[in-house]
Amino acid sequence: MLLRAAWRRAAVAVTAAPGPKPAAPTRGLRLRVGDHAPQSAVTADTTAAPEAGPVLRPLYMDVQATTPLDPRVLDAMLPYLINYYGNPHSRTHAYGWESEAAMERARQQVASLIGADPREIIFTSGATESNNIAIKTESHSVAQAGVQ
């Protein structure tokens, strides 16, 4: 919430700055960017500059290296990035217990969204790890079936 408020103030300051504005690209798809978070998630700051309207920006297609973060995801994850940052595999202290409980809730939510068993949901650190698990799991299944 604080990060989003700071980003908004910076965006308003840039648009209100005197001088020439950067030219928008003349080709390609465009996406209207706006804040999709509920208003209740934003703290009331009466000293902040007025909200800027949605911005017309080119559609970002290179999500190989990075992806935009949805404000709702930021709101959901912020407590775990600031207060509940324990290793979920450390079961000898409260930090680990809190993180493990949060991971299990997330696993349940994902499983219910796609109609899977929570034991089938595996969180990985990225695409390479996910691909390796998929390949090794499939080759292990093929080897067990006796298929060459």
Burial class of 68 by CB neighbour count within 10 A (0 to 12, 13 to 18, 19+): exposed
Is the pLDDT at 4 greater than 80? The verdict is: no
pLDDT exceeds 60 at position 134: yes
Instruction: Strands of 1-148 (E only): list them.
Output: 30-33, 55-58
Report the pLDDT averaged over residues 3-15. 54
Would you tell me the crossing angle of helices 71-82 and 2-16 to the nearest 10 degrees?
A: 130
Within a domain: 135:
yes
For 61, other C-beta atoms within 10 Å of its C-beta total 8
> 8-22, 30-44, 92-106, 132-146: which range is least confident on average?
30-44
In a domain, 95, yes or no: yes
Residue 76 falls inside a structural domain = yes
Q: Which pTM does this prediction carry?
A: 0.52
Residues spanned by the domain of 105: 71-146
Domain presence at residue 20: no
- Cβ atoms of 100 and 88 within 8 Å: the answer is yes
Per-residue pLDDT tens for 78-87?
999 999 889 9
- For residue 7, give the nearest of 35, 38, 46 by alpha carbon: 35
Asked if residue 124 has pLDDT above 80, the reply is yes
Count of structural domains within the chain: 1
